[in-house]
Amino acid sequence: MTLADTLLRRPSRPSRPRRGGTVRKRVTASEQFTGWAFVTPGVAIILLFGAVPIVWSAVMSFQRVNLLSPSTPYVGLKNYRELVHDPIVGQAVEHTLVYTALFVPGTMIVGLFLAVAMNRQIRFISVYRTAAYATMAISTISEAIVFIWLFDPSYGVVNYFLSLFGIPAQPWLNSPSQALYVIVIMTIWGWTGFAVVIYLAALQGVPSTLIEAAAIDGASAWRTFRRVTLPLLSPASLFLAVWLTINAMQLFDEVYLSTSGGPLNATTVLVYYLYEQAFQNFNFGYASAIAYFLFIVILVVTAIQFRIGRRFTYYRS
């Protein structure tokens, strides 16, 4: 190579990294990518076992489906029309509403009473609080077995104590007029621990200065609770009312384990009737229509609760 060739030779440029590779590295190193990488498995599970069944059941509510025959003809609104004229659906709606009307305020009142009693510094208070919440840790099967034993017509503890006062033994779960109320008592006992925790947390957030100011003004303990403490508990009360109502309208476990909808359909609620139609009669189209009817009812009731609760709920800034 001559000197002229060396001088005329153009210097080689340093190689530039590919733009695509740089962008890819920047994306994979970002916090958003890391977050989505952790969230994606959960999202996939929710879509697979949550969203897909919801959409599938919506489609089945307009079909005649029994999962035994490959034929799934569309029947339009026939399942919904049948639902309106089904007398057992009417009974199930009535039982669900009665249960909800008793269960929700009952749980809130008992939970508030226990939370107020435990919101003080006394000996073994941690033991009492743990015992109150223990009802949430007990399985529904254990709860049902205990209450079946307590309210047994022949050798139940409740009838034994009634006999001490000369009251005759009651049939309880075997009686069409009493079985639903036994289930109300059972579920109030089971959910009281949850209400106690919510109310206890709200009580500990009430400013002590307001309580002291009311005492200085000469307000009695009851008047202070009614005028100061109770309004400050209104957000917790609204949350409990909505949450417990949604759970009450989906009552199933206790009915299935204790009475199986009986006697004489006296404890048949909407979700249990849905279960019968789907998994005993294999009428999945009709069961899906019941499920969506219940969804609409829960949606409407929740919206009404939020609208009414907004007027009585006090949020501290």
Arithmetic mean of pLDDT, 57-64: 92
Q: Give the residues across from 63 on adjacent strands.
A: 74
* CA angle (194, 197, 201) in 5-degree steps: 145
pLDDT tens digits, residue range 25-52?
665 556 777 788 888 888 888 888 888 8
pLDDT (0 to 100) of residue 91: 96
User: Residue 69 has what pLDDT?
Assistant: 81
Residue 278: predicted pLDDT? 93
Q: Is the pLDDT of residue 155 over 80?
A: yes
How far apart CA 75 and CA 64 sit, in angstroms, is 7
Q: Which of 21-30, 124-133, 249-258 has the lowest mean pLDDT?
A: 21-30
Output the pLDDT for position 66.
85
Q: Is the pLDDT of residue 71 over 60?
A: yes
Single-letter code of the amino acid located at 53: P
What is the mean predicted confidence (pLDDT) over 280-296? 94
Band of pLDDT at residue 316, cut at 50, 70 and 90? low
pLDDT band at 11 (very low <50, low <70, confident <90, very high): low
CB atoms within 10 A of CB 95: 24
**Range from 17-26, 31-40, 56-65, 274-283 carrying the lowest mean pLDDT:** 17-26
Write the CA distances from 194 to 107, 124, 154, 173, 210, integer angstroms.
9, 20, 32, 25, 27
pLDDT of residue 3: 47
Cα–Cα distance list, 149 to 51, 181, 257, 300, 316 (Å): 40, 16, 13, 38, 46
Q: Residue 10's pLDDT is what?
A: 53
Residues 6+ apart with CB under 8 A from 301: 245, 249
Instruction: Calculate the alpha carbon distances from 127 to 123, 124, 132, 206 in Å.
Output: 9, 5, 9, 23
State the pLDDT at residue 59.
Answer: 92
Residue 198 burial class via C-beta count within 10 angstroms: exposed 0-12, middle 13-18, buried 19 and up: buried
Query: What is the rounded average pLDDT of the residues 198-223?
Result: 90
CB 266 within 8 A of CB 177: yes
Distances (CA, A) of 36 to 30, 44, 46, 273, 283: 10, 11, 14, 40, 40
Tens digits of per-residue pLDDT, 12-29? 555 555 555 565 666 555
1 pLDDT above the threshold of 60 = no
pLDDT bucket at 129, cuts 50 / 70 / 90: confident
Runs of H (alpha helix) within 52-139: 52-60, 78-85, 87-118, 125-137
Nearest Cα residue to 314 out of 210, 215, 221: 210
Whether 134 contacts 114, CB under 8 Å: no
Percentage with pLDDT > 70 across the chain: 90
Distance CA 172, CA 160 (A): 13
pLDDT at 285 over 90: yes
- Cβ atoms of 154 and 242 within 8 Å: the answer is no
